Amino acid sequence: MCIIKLNAIDSTNSYLRSLYASQTVKDFTAVIAEKQTNGRGQMGAKWASQEAKNLTFSVFKDAESLQIEKPFAMSMVTALALRKALQIFAIPQLSVKWPNDILSANKKICGVLIENVIKQSQIAASIIGIGLNVNQINFENLPKASSLKKITGTTYDLDELARTILNYLKDYFKVLNNEGFEVIKAEYESYLFRKNKPSTFKDAEGLLFSGFIKGVSNNGHLQILLEDNIIKTFDLKEVTLMY
């Protein structure tokens, strides 16, 4: 297991992408930083994290051997590995908020940013960025955020958490290789936050509407059953779950 530890970096995703551009990088190489000065989340959002309190790291995944036809598989595998690893540490009420946030009850404890490297119109590699709230307990102006310590009262070893997550990433990629996309998709959908529950959503124009989350399409779009009994699919920029 190749783990590179840094005191501070602008972004572990950017560091790992640059490393891959300049040399051969071993599959599942991880870059862990005590502090990120420019951590990023989905759709350009900033990821704020107290220094040395949380787990901020990126993992290199060689995608050429996988021959991934459906890129969302990468996102589902990551979410399942994170959920399973946190279950091992007895974190309660774990679910996946589409596309790949990890919640405990209705509090966000982990976010993921996956950036793909494209070569000849194919995904050659993916950089999986993970931000896990571990021992930080104060989250000013973030009412939906929490951490492992805030939930359980326990202080966690960051290295042990990282190793456990990496091991489950390897396990779930084996499942994807051996059992296929549909097996991963079925398990992912079984853990979707608010699946089959009446929910409120906001569309890209800011309008609210009601519906039921039914699952995801093969390309990762959220499938919502609307009031007129029609299932409509939405991509990340088109819908926000209100909770």
pLDDT beneath 50, residues of the chain: 43
Write down the pLDDT at residue 215: 98
pTM over 0.85: yes
Q: How many H-runs (helices) and E-runs (strands) does the chain carry? A: 5, 12
> What's the confidence (pLDDT) of residue 41?
55
- As its CATH architecture, domain 3-190 has 2-Layer Sandwich (3.30)
Which run of H or E residues covers position 85? helix 72-88
Q: Which CATH number fits domain 198-242: 1.10.238.10, 2.40.50.140, 2.30.30.100, 1.10.10.10?
A: 2.30.30.100
Q: What is the pLDDT of residue 8?
A: 87
CA 56, 240, 75, 88 torsion-angle sign: positive
Domain limits, the chain: 3-190, 198-242
